[in-house]
Structure 1
Amino acid sequence: MADRITANLPSRDFTSTEAFYARLGFATRYRDDGWMILRRGSLELEFFHHPGVDKLTSWFSACIRIDDMPGLLTEWQKVGLPSDAKATPRLTGIFKHGQAPRMFALVDEDGSLLRVIDNLDAGEAA
């Protein structure tokens, strides 16, 4: 198996988190009372139970680097999440800041931010 790192994000309710991410193509790989692991192909997210996390002030985040970033966005847009900057959850379109690679963002039901970053963007620094 290749080296990897996985995100550890909070979940107020595992059942709700599991259902939200299932809509995005993730399947449950492991779940007990305090920990849950979801996987979609090579993408893996781990969640810890945190019933007190405030979705409006959460600062939890993770980066997902992917070769077909536009394709994943197109697929996730079919779920119908709002794009309003004040909505939680929400899904943005593709954007780029300065020399950073192109990306889009997903904010889940618990306020965690996932930056989905284009591996193939020529503007990315090595």
Structure 2
Amino acid sequence: MVDHATPNLPSRDLDATVAFYDALGFEVGFHDPGWLVLQRGTLVLEFFPDPGMDPASSAASCCLRVDDLDGLYAVCAGAGIEETHLGWPRRHPPQVEDSGMRIAYVVDLDGNLLRLVQNPELED
């Protein structure tokens, strides 16, 4: 197995989290009342229950580095996540940032910020 890290994000309701991420192509790898693991290909997100959290004040975030940013962003749009700057869930379109990286943003139903980062193309 290749070394890897998985973000641990809060969820007010693990079943609602499953439904939200299912629409984005994530599948349940593990689920019990105290923990949830979701997978989409090589992407893995883990969630712990935090029923009293306030999405408006969440500081939880992670980067999902992907080969097809536009494809994943289209899945988010197709799942009905609104492109807006207010509320949650929401999405922000891909753009090249000052760092030179192309990034889109998704905020899930618990206020967790997902940075969708385009992997650099490998040169031959």
Q: Give the TM-score of the pair, scaled to structure 2.
A: 0.93
Supply the distance in 2 between the matched residues of 1:75 and 1:100 (Cα, whole angstroms): 24
Does residue 60 (structure 1) correspond to residue 60 (structure 2)? The answer is: yes
**1:39 and 1:45 in contact (8 A); partners too:** yes
Provide structure 1 residue ranges, at least 5 long, that are not aligned to the other structure. none
Give the structure with the higher percent strand.
Answer: 2
Alignment correspondent of 1:95: 95
Deviation at 1:119, TM superposition (A): 0.8
Distance 1:58 1:100 in 2: 27
Tell me the residue number matched to 1:47. Answer: 47
> What CA RMSD, in Å, does the superposition of the two structures yield over aligned residues?
1.4
- Residue 80 of structure 1 corresponds to 80
Q: 1:51 to 1:77 in 2, by over 3 A?
A: same
Q: Within the alignment, does 1:28 sit opposite 2:28 as a pair?
A: yes
Matched, 1:38 2:41: no
For structure 2, list consecutive stretches of 5 or more residues without a partner in the other structure: none
Aligned mates of 2:75, 2:120 — CA distance in 1: 18
Q: Any conservation in 2 of the 1:28–1:39 contact (CA below 8 Å)?
A: yes
* Number of residue equivalences: 122
Question: How many percent identity over aligned positions?
Answer: 41
Letter in 1 for 2:6: T
Post-superposition shift, 1:121? 6.4
Q: CA deviation at 1:100?
A: 3.8
Secondary structure in 2 aligned to 1:56? helix
